């Protein structure tokens, strides 16, 4: 259990290093790429203003060198910081020469985009659900990809966390998914990864376009902020997975790993000769710290996204609606994959009548192991032979 926690913490450090490297590379390579490409509806107007009314500021933006003297003379009195001394004068000049009608349209577009994180979070994946899929469903990479494909997360209340038993709880009349043999299951998982990868690529393209075609007024010199917001969506998921893996460990029967067994472990980990067991532990101070960290990170990510999208300029309502629609497309695609995987996991979890999880705090509890599923492959799929057990 502790090794799992340490491995998850290591993955957090790796993701943090990738984010820092991405930001640094983006800062070095793509800086000063703004004010050249625009969104289509009003782009020709902004381009004309830059080349006809703001040529001096545009020349300074492209060839100038950041120094404190330039900031003291110009940008400071325009409200810009010392790091945005080159971008603020050009931004201010464009806005001064922009018709009021266009400014009104940009204000409406900022309202639409400002609501984007909340809309995406309402339709998107839930952090506890992704943690359940990662730890109990043993779909670690798929869950990580889903967190990037559906970048907005709902803020969680401090010290309140949905348990996996609630997420996997069954109800009467629920539609039950079908299970297949190993080859079809492998094709399904590959298809899921293709869908998730497409959603991630769509988000990255959107983040890149927003960075170079618009300007965030609170940080006009940075083009990487939309991409950073997308990448940071994985941090709450990793933290939630860390907390859950410190409470629950899925233990399967060890056996000799031939090639087929390796394939089965990756594509259908529940298809084992004997049922897996859950090793459940009581809450620890470390778990409470991680849970509170998840709440704070989700809240910070939500605030950062709202601040970022509500402060962008140089796009219209007609430009903002397709952006929201493309984000929603990624969210819906990832949500369908997550719901399908959780439905399968829920069916396996509730396959045994009378299965009970001991709740932390009920008497003197010790870490214990309980069988999860006792259904046969033949009962669920029509494939295989009697006596084979399905596990999560």
Rounded Cα gap, residues 86 and 84, in angstroms = 5
Residue with tokens 């939500």: 302
Which of 38-52, 339-353, 375-389 has the highest mean predicted lDDT (pLDDT)?
38-52
Classify strands 248-251 and 277-280 as parallel, antiparallel or unpaired. antiparallel
For residue 172, the SS3 value is coil
* Domain assignment present for 149: yes
Q: 241 Cβ partners below 8 Å, 6+ apart?
A: 8, 130, 131, 134, 135, 140, 143
* Domain assignment present for 75: no
* Backbone phi, psi, residue 250, to 5°: -90, 120
Mean pLDDT in residue range 192-209: 94
* Domain assignment present for 38: no
Rounded Cα gap, residues 390 and 24, in angstroms = 47
Q: 330 Cβ partners below 8 Å, 6+ apart?
A: 149, 150, 151, 199, 200, 202, 203
DSSP 362: S
Give the residue numbers spanning the domain of 136: 103-268+283-364
Mean pLDDT in residue range 122-141: 87
Percentage of the chain lying above the pLDDT 90 cut: 33
* Domain assignment present for 137: yes
| Average of per-residue pLDDT values in the chain | 77
CB 159 within 8 A of CB 292: yes
Rounded Cα gap, residues 260 and 273, in angstroms = 13
* Domain assignment present for 278: no
* Domain assignment present for 260: yes
Which pLDDT does position 50 carry in this prediction?
A: 93
Rounded Cα gap, residues 361 and 368, in angstroms = 14
Is the pLDDT confidence value at 388 over 60?
no
* Domain assignment present for 275: no
* Domain assignment present for 244: yes
Which of 108-112, 136-140, 381-385 has the highest mean predicted lDDT (pLDDT)?
108-112
Is the pLDDT confidence value at 283 over 70?
yes
Mean pLDDT in residue range 137-151: 89
Give me the number of domains the chain comprises: 1
> Residue 263 has which token pair?
């394939």
CB 235 within 8 A of CB 301: yes
């Amino acid at each position: 259990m502790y090794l799992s926690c340490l491995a998850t913490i290591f993955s957090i450090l790796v993701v943090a290093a990738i984010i820092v490297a991405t930001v640094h590379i983006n800062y070095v390579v793509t800086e000063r790429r703004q004010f050249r490409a625009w969104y289509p509806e009003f782009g020709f107007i902004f381009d004309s203003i830059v080349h006809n009314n703001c040529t001096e500021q545009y020349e300074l933006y492209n060839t100038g060198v950041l120094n404190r003297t330039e900031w003291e003379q110009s940008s400071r009195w325009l409200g810009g910081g010392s790091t945005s001394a080159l971008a603020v004068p050009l931004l201010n000049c464009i806005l001064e020469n922009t018709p009021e009608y266009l400014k009104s349209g940009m204000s409406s577009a900022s309202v639409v985009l400002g609501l984007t994180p909340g809309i995406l979070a309402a339709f998107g994946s839930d952090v506890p659900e992704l943690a359940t899929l990662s730890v109990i469903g043993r779909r670690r990479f798929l869950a990580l990809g889903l967190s990037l494909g559906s970048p907005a997360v709902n803020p969680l209340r401090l010290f309140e966390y949905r348990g996996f038993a609630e997420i996997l709880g069954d109800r009467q009349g629920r539609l039950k998914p079908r299970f297949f043999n190993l080859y079809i299951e492998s094709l399904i998982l590959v298809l899921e990864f293709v869908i998730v990868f497409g959603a991630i690529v769509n988000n990255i393209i959107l983040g890149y376009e927003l960075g170079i075609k618009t300007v965030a007024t609170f940080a006009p010199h940075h083009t990487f902020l939309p991409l950073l917001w997308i990448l940071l969506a994985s941090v709450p998921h990793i933290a939630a997975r860390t907390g859950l893996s410190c409470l629950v460990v899925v233990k399967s029967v060890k056996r000799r790993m031939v090639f087929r067994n390796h394939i089965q472990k990756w594509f259908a980990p529940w298809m084992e000769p004997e049922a897996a067991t859950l090793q459940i532990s009581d809450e620890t101070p470390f778990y409470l710290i991680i849970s509170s960290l998840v709440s704070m990170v989700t809240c910070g990510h939500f605030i950062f996204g709202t601040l970022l999208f509500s402060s962008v300029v140089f796009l219209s309502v007609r430009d903002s609606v397709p952006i929201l629609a493309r984000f929603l497309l990624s969210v819906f695609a990832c949500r369908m994959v997550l719901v399908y995987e959780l439905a399968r996991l829920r069916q396996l979890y509730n396959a045994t009548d009378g299965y009970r999880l001991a709740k932390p705090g009920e008497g003197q509890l010790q870490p214990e192991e309980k069988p999860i599923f006792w259904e046969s492959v033949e009962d669920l799929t029509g494939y295989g032979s009697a006596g084979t057990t399905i596990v999560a």
